[in-house]
């Protein structure tokens, strides 16, 4: 790794290193690097939904919220890329930057940024980049089993019903995510609980809450305990706001928290001295945003949430974080809105990750440089369409090319009408060979009705609801196989997760990463290694049962047929239940696993 710095005098600088030439030009507070190199492919730039190979495209390095069909926008942007010609570049800045990947590569960045040049094979470049960022820990073992989630679950009765369905339909699960669990005002108090309000850093205990009159939760502590005894870990939804309540709705604890945040400068402020509020037209408009760079904010924020961990909660789903729209915002560590547009989400998730510790789980939508060190990333909101499933696949692979190790998505899509039975099956099959396997869905009727009409009635993306909706009870048997296979794969996946974290390399790897001298490997974007020993060629077209694929050199065994395949060319998966192949000689036995 070579650190390149701009010349503060404004002179043009030219660097020649063999087959790469970099020319800097400074103008005001911005610089442009023009890079000349003979390359064919370029990868990285974070979780990209539009393309895996970014050659011929322009990338704006900006963390943004976009509900479905993200196009060139992304929740997780990372200013890092590498090429097939053996070098990569990282721009160390929190500010928005732009990258033009044409015959010449043009990078526009602030003058105070640092550029780092990497040379070597693709995995070596990613490893060196991740090692520069710092230690990465694997999530705990239970995070690699099936996850279940639906926004419609907003009561203990709902949870008991879904657990009963798991048992009745014989489906395994290791994580249950509750989104609609809280009062929707503080986001740390169970809905329906009665209590005496607390000020500032005064901590709640579970015993402070009276659930005797609650219509939602009878005894959430016992519920969480019962789930844990069944091997199911509970994760709760979070959002980084002091919420502005809807007109006519009042919550005294919410009002106390907001006043305390303003009085003690626990929220982000603007340069004119006024508290920053999320602008109208955006999610949680009018809300204050906590300043997690302030230690006092962290102490007050988590003093209210500690009782949740004490009662057995295993982690948080940290949604949002893409809330900075004003350059005049200032944090306590003197970052401005220009930096916080990207940096805030990482400050938010890093704070939660440090608080939880590595034995609990974090599931985050937004990320920036350093997201590798605060696993797990999930792909955000998507419609239930084949097009969106392909977009999600691109996001998975581009995130992996950017150093993200642990990643997941919502099986069958999150929003709109329910997925077809075929789409749901193909999503399940793909998810079985991703770091996280999870089904999830928006609220009944659709979260954004003015944008996208949701499913009528029960919008849950559970296997039994999809089978019920289409009148296909046999679908349950098919889907169950993949959930049970996932449980068998946990020893392999967890072992590969630990190795990947130790080495700083992704779990989902493009073919050329394992075969850097095989020029053909660069031509196949729709296949990937899952760990060291599995090669997956997912099915994303409607109603297809098999496909052709490229097997790299060596001998491979079909996971389901046990047939032996000779690599180094194109093969058909006609004889396979699903195109997954095991590297011959691997210490892998699905029946043993």
Which residues are designated catalytic? 319, 322, 381
Which letter does DSSP use for residue 319 in this model?
-
Rounded to whole angstroms, the Cα distance separating 502 from 510 reads: 19
CA distances from 298 to 254, 303, 347, 351 (A): 17, 8, 11, 8
What is the DSSP secondary-structure string of 196-252?
----TTPPP-GGG-B-TT-SS-S-HHHHHHHHHHTT-EEEEEE---BPPPPTT---H
Cβ neighbourhood burial of 439 (10 Å; 0-12, 13-18, 19+):
buried
- Do you find a cis peptide bond into 376, omega within 30 degrees of 0? yes
User: Under 8 Å CB-to-CB from 405, ≥6 apart: which residues?
Assistant: 136, 372, 375, 435, 497, 500, 501, 504, 505, 506, 507
Rounded to whole angstroms, the Cα distance separating 77 from 300 reads: 29
User: Under 8 Å CB-to-CB from 213, ≥6 apart: which residues?
Assistant: 192, 194
Q: How many Cβ atoms are within 10 Å of 254's Cβ, its own excluded?
A: 21
CA distances from 373 to 314, 350, 369, 377, 502 (A): 18, 8, 9, 10, 12
Rounded to whole angstroms, the Cα distance separating 166 from 173 reads: 8
User: What distance lies between CA 422 and its chain's CA centroid?
Assistant: 25
CB 343 within 8 A of CB 401: no
Instruction: Write phi, then psi, for 87 (nearest 5 degrees).
Output: -145, 160
């Amino acid at each position: 790794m070579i650190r390149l710095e701009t010349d503060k005098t404004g002179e043009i600088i030219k660097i020649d290193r063999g087959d790469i030439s970099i020319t800097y030009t400074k103008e005001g507070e911005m610089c442009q690097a023009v890079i000349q190199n003979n390359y064919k492919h370029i990868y990285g730039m974070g979780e990209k939904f539009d393309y895996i190979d970014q050659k011929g495209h322009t990338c704006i390095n900006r963390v943004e919220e976009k509900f479905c069909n993200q196009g060139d926008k992304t929740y997780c942007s990372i200013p890092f890329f590498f090429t097939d010609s053996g070098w990569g570049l990282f721009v160390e800045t929190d500010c928005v930057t732009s990258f033009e990947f044409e015959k010449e590569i043009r990078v526009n960045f602030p003058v105070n940024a640092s550029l780092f040049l990497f040379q070597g094979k693709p995995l070596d470049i990613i490893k060196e980049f991740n090692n520069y960022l710092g230690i990465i820990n694997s999530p705990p073992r239970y995070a690699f089993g099936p996850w279940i989630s639906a926004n419609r679950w907003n009561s203990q009765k709902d949870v008991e019903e879904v657990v009963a369905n798991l048992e009745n339909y014989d489906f395994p699960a290791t994580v249950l995510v509750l989104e609609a669990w809280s009062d929707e005002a503080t986001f740390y108090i169970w809905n329906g609980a009665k209590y005496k309000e607390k000020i500032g850093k005064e901590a709640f205990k579970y015993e402070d809450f009276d659930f005797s009159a609650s219509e939602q939760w009878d005894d959430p502590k016992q519920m969480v305990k019962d789930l844990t005894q069944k091997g199911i870990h509970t994760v709760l939804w979070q959002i980084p706001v002091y919420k502005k309540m809807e007109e006519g709705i009042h919550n005294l604890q919410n009002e106390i928290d907001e006043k305390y945040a303003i009085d003690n400068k626990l929220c982000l402020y603007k340069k004119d001295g006024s508290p920053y509020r999320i602008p109208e037209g955006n999610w949680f408009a009018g809300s204050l945003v906590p300043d997690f760079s302030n230690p006092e904010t962290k102490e007050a924020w988590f003093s209210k949430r500690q009782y949740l961990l004490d009662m057995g909660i295993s982690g948080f789903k940290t949604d949002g974080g893409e809330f900075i729209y004003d350059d005049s915002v200032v944090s306590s560590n003197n970052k401005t809105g220009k930096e916080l547009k990207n940096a805030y989400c990482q400050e938010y998730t890093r704070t939660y990750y440090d608080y939880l510790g590595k034995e609990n789980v974090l599931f985050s939508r937004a990320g920036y440089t350093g997201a590798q060190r605060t696993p797990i990333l999930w792909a955000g909101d998507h419609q239930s369409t084949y097009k969106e499933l392909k977009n999600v696949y691109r996001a998975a692979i581009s995130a992996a090319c950017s150093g993200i190790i642990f990643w997941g998505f919502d099986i069958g899509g999150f929003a709109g009408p329910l997925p077809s039975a075929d789409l749901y099956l193909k999503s399940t099959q793909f998810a079985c060979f991703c770091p996280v396997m999870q089904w999830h869905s928006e609220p009944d009727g659709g979260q954004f009705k003015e944008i996208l009409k949701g499913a009528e009635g029960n919008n849950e993306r559970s296997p039994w609801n999809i089978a019920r909706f289409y009148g296909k009870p046999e679908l349950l048997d098919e889907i169950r196989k993949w959930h049970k296979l996932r449980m068998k794969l946990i020893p392999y996946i967890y072992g590969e997760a630990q190795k990947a974290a130790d080495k700083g390399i992704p779990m989902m790897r493009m073919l050329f990463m394992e075969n850097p001298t095989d020029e053909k490997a660069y031509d196949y974007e729709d296949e990937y290694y899952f760990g060291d020993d599995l090669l997956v060629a997912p099915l994303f077209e409607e109603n297809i049962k098999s496909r052709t694929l490229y097997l790299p050199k060596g001998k491979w065994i079909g996971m389901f047929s046990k047939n032996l395949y000779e690599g180094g060319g194109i093969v058909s998966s006609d004889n396979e239940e699903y195109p997954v192949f095991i590297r011959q000689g691997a210490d892998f036995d699905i029946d043993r696993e």
